[in-house]
Protein backbone atom coordinates (compact mmCIF):
# COMPACT_ATOMS: atom_id res chain seq x y z
CA UNK A 1 0.00 0.00 0.00
CA UNK A 2 2.71 2.47 1.00
CA UNK A 3 4.74 1.47 -2.08
CA UNK A 4 1.92 2.59 -4.38
CA UNK A 5 1.46 5.85 -2.49
CA UNK A 6 5.20 6.55 -2.61
CA UNK A 7 5.35 5.77 -6.33
CA UNK A 8 2.45 8.14 -6.97
CA UNK A 9 4.14 10.92 -4.97
CA UNK A 10 7.36 10.31 -6.92
CA UNK A 11 5.60 10.25 -10.30
CA UNK A 12 3.72 13.50 -9.53
CA UNK A 13 7.04 15.15 -8.61
CA UNK A 14 9.13 13.78 -11.48
CA UNK A 15 11.19 11.48 -9.24
CA UNK A 16 12.32 7.99 -10.28
CA UNK A 17 12.48 5.68 -7.29
CA UNK A 18 13.47 2.05 -6.81
CA UNK A 19 12.14 -0.05 -3.92
CA UNK A 20 14.29 -2.64 -2.19
CA UNK A 21 15.15 -4.03 1.24
CA UNK A 22 12.70 -6.01 3.34
CA UNK A 23 9.74 -4.73 1.29
CA UNK A 24 11.32 -6.37 -1.77
CA UNK A 25 11.85 -9.61 0.17
CA UNK A 26 8.18 -9.54 1.26
CA UNK A 27 7.09 -8.85 -2.34
CA UNK A 28 8.87 -12.07 -3.41
CA UNK A 29 7.40 -14.03 -0.48
CA UNK A 30 10.74 -14.50 1.32
CA UNK A 31 9.55 -12.91 4.57
CA UNK A 32 6.13 -12.16 6.04
CA UNK A 33 6.69 -8.69 7.45
CA UNK A 34 8.68 -5.79 6.04
CA UNK A 35 10.51 -3.64 8.61
CA UNK A 36 10.43 -0.50 6.50
CA UNK A 37 10.43 0.80 2.95
CA UNK A 38 13.92 1.23 1.45
CA UNK A 39 13.88 3.67 -1.44
CA UNK A 40 16.80 4.35 -3.76
CA UNK A 41 16.87 7.50 -5.89
CA UNK A 42 19.49 9.21 -7.98
CA UNK A 43 21.47 11.97 -6.20
CA UNK A 44 19.91 14.80 -8.21
CA UNK A 45 16.44 13.69 -7.08
CA UNK A 46 17.11 13.20 -3.37
CA UNK A 47 16.34 16.76 -2.31
CA UNK A 48 13.02 16.74 -4.17
CA UNK A 49 11.93 13.48 -2.48
CA UNK A 50 13.19 14.79 0.87
CA UNK A 51 10.90 17.82 0.48
CA UNK A 52 7.92 15.67 -0.54
CA UNK A 53 8.30 13.17 2.32
CA UNK A 54 8.94 15.94 4.85
CA UNK A 55 5.57 17.43 3.84
CA UNK A 56 3.51 14.21 3.91
CA UNK A 57 5.28 12.63 6.87
CA UNK A 58 7.80 13.32 9.59
CA UNK A 59 11.54 13.47 8.98
CA UNK A 60 13.70 11.86 11.67
CA UNK A 61 17.13 13.00 12.73
CA UNK A 62 19.57 10.35 11.64
CA UNK A 63 22.93 9.79 13.24
CA UNK A 64 25.48 8.67 10.68
CA UNK A 65 26.72 5.09 11.09
CA UNK A 66 30.52 4.93 10.83
CA UNK A 67 30.49 2.18 8.17
CA UNK A 68 27.85 3.74 5.93
CA UNK A 69 29.20 6.39 3.58
CA UNK A 70 25.98 6.84 1.61
CA UNK A 71 26.01 10.34 0.13
CA UNK A 72 22.36 11.11 0.82
CA UNK A 73 20.24 9.37 3.46
CA UNK A 74 16.93 10.35 4.99
CA UNK A 75 14.63 8.57 7.42
CA UNK A 76 10.93 9.45 7.52
CA UNK A 77 7.72 8.19 9.04
CA UNK A 78 4.77 8.31 6.66
CA UNK A 79 1.40 6.98 7.88
CA UNK A 80 3.13 4.82 10.49
CA UNK A 81 5.63 3.33 8.01
CA UNK A 82 9.38 3.96 8.27
CA UNK A 83 10.70 5.09 4.89
CA UNK A 84 14.47 5.17 4.34
CA UNK A 85 15.65 7.07 1.27
CA UNK A 86 19.15 6.65 -0.13
CA UNK A 87 21.13 8.05 -3.03
CA UNK A 88 24.65 6.85 -3.84
CA UNK A 89 24.73 3.93 -1.38
CA UNK A 90 28.30 3.42 -0.17
CA UNK A 91 29.67 1.31 2.65
CA UNK A 92 33.06 0.71 4.21
CA UNK A 93 34.40 -2.81 3.85
CA UNK A 94 37.59 -4.32 5.29
CA UNK A 95 39.49 -3.63 2.06
CA UNK A 96 37.80 -0.62 0.50
CA UNK A 97 34.43 0.96 -0.16
CA UNK A 98 31.46 -0.68 -1.85
CA UNK A 99 29.42 1.69 -4.06
CA UNK A 100 26.12 0.40 -5.40
CA UNK A 101 25.55 1.08 -9.13
CA UNK A 102 22.29 2.14 -10.77
CA UNK A 103 20.45 -0.86 -12.19
CA UNK A 104 17.20 -0.41 -14.09
CA UNK A 105 14.27 -1.47 -11.88
CA UNK A 106 11.35 -3.66 -12.93
CA UNK A 107 8.00 -1.97 -12.20
CA UNK A 108 9.73 0.16 -9.55
CA UNK A 109 11.30 -2.85 -7.81
CA UNK A 110 15.02 -3.36 -7.41
CA UNK A 111 16.32 -6.85 -8.22
CA UNK A 112 16.82 -9.54 -5.57
CA UNK A 113 20.26 -10.09 -7.09
CA UNK A 114 21.17 -6.51 -6.08
CA UNK A 115 20.08 -7.26 -2.53
CA UNK A 116 22.08 -10.47 -2.52
CA UNK A 117 25.10 -8.17 -2.87
CA UNK A 118 23.82 -5.34 -0.64
CA UNK A 119 22.90 -7.64 2.24
CA UNK A 120 26.29 -9.37 1.89
CA UNK A 121 28.00 -5.96 2.18
CA UNK A 122 25.83 -5.10 5.21
CA UNK A 123 26.60 -8.49 6.82
CA UNK A 124 22.88 -9.40 7.06
CA UNK A 125 23.38 -13.15 6.95
CA UNK A 126 19.77 -14.15 7.62
CA UNK A 127 18.52 -12.09 4.68
CA UNK A 128 21.29 -13.44 2.45
CA UNK A 129 20.14 -16.97 3.38
CA UNK A 130 16.53 -16.14 2.43
CA UNK A 131 17.70 -14.86 -0.97
CA UNK A 132 19.96 -17.89 -1.52
CA UNK A 133 17.07 -20.26 -0.77
CA UNK A 134 14.82 -18.34 -3.17
CA UNK A 135 17.29 -18.67 -6.04
CA UNK A 136 17.55 -22.43 -5.66
CA UNK A 137 14.12 -22.54 -7.36
CA UNK A 138 14.08 -19.29 -9.37
CA UNK A 139 16.21 -17.94 -12.19
CA UNK A 140 19.25 -15.95 -11.11
CA UNK A 141 20.53 -13.05 -13.24
CA UNK A 142 24.32 -13.26 -12.98
CA UNK A 143 24.70 -10.12 -15.11
CA UNK A 144 23.11 -8.01 -12.35
CA UNK A 145 25.48 -9.45 -9.76
CA UNK A 146 28.48 -8.88 -12.04
CA UNK A 147 27.39 -5.25 -12.53
CA UNK A 148 27.14 -4.81 -8.75
CA UNK A 149 30.61 -6.34 -8.27
CA UNK A 150 32.33 -4.45 -11.09
CA UNK A 151 34.09 -1.98 -8.76
CA UNK A 152 33.53 -3.81 -5.48
CA UNK A 153 36.34 -4.52 -3.00
CA UNK A 154 37.83 -8.02 -3.32
CA UNK A 155 36.33 -9.08 0.04
CA UNK A 156 32.80 -8.40 -1.26
CA UNK A 157 33.44 -10.21 -4.55
CA UNK A 158 34.80 -13.22 -2.65
CA UNK A 159 31.88 -13.36 -0.22
CA UNK A 160 29.20 -13.02 -2.91
CA UNK A 161 30.86 -15.56 -5.21
CA UNK A 162 31.20 -18.05 -2.34
CA UNK A 163 27.67 -17.58 -1.00
CA UNK A 164 25.97 -17.74 -4.41
CA UNK A 165 28.26 -20.22 -6.20
CA UNK A 166 25.53 -22.89 -6.26
CA UNK A 167 23.05 -20.68 -8.11
CA UNK A 168 25.65 -19.00 -10.33
CA UNK A 169 26.88 -22.27 -11.79
CA UNK A 170 23.47 -23.45 -13.05
**So where are the chain's domains?**
2-168
Report pLDDT for 170: 59
Distance of CA 25 to the CA centre of its chain: 10
Q: Does domain 2-168 have CATH number 3.30.460.40?
A: yes
Q: Indicate the pTM of the whole model.
A: 0.94
Q: Could you tell me how many residues make up the chain?
A: 170
CB 75 within 8 A of CB 60: yes
Q: How many CA atoms lie within 13 A of 148 on its CB side?
A: 27
For residue range 86-142, what is the model confidence (pLDDT) as tens digits?
A: 999 999 999 999 999 999 999 999 999 999 999 999 999 999 999 999 999 999 999
Residue 123 has a CB neighbour count (10 Å cut-off) of 12
Amino acid sequence: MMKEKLETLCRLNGIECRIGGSTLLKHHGLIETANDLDVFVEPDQFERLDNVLSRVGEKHDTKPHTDYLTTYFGEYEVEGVEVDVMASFRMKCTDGIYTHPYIEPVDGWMHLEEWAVLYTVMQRREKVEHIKAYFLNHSFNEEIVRTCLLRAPDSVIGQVMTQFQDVMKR
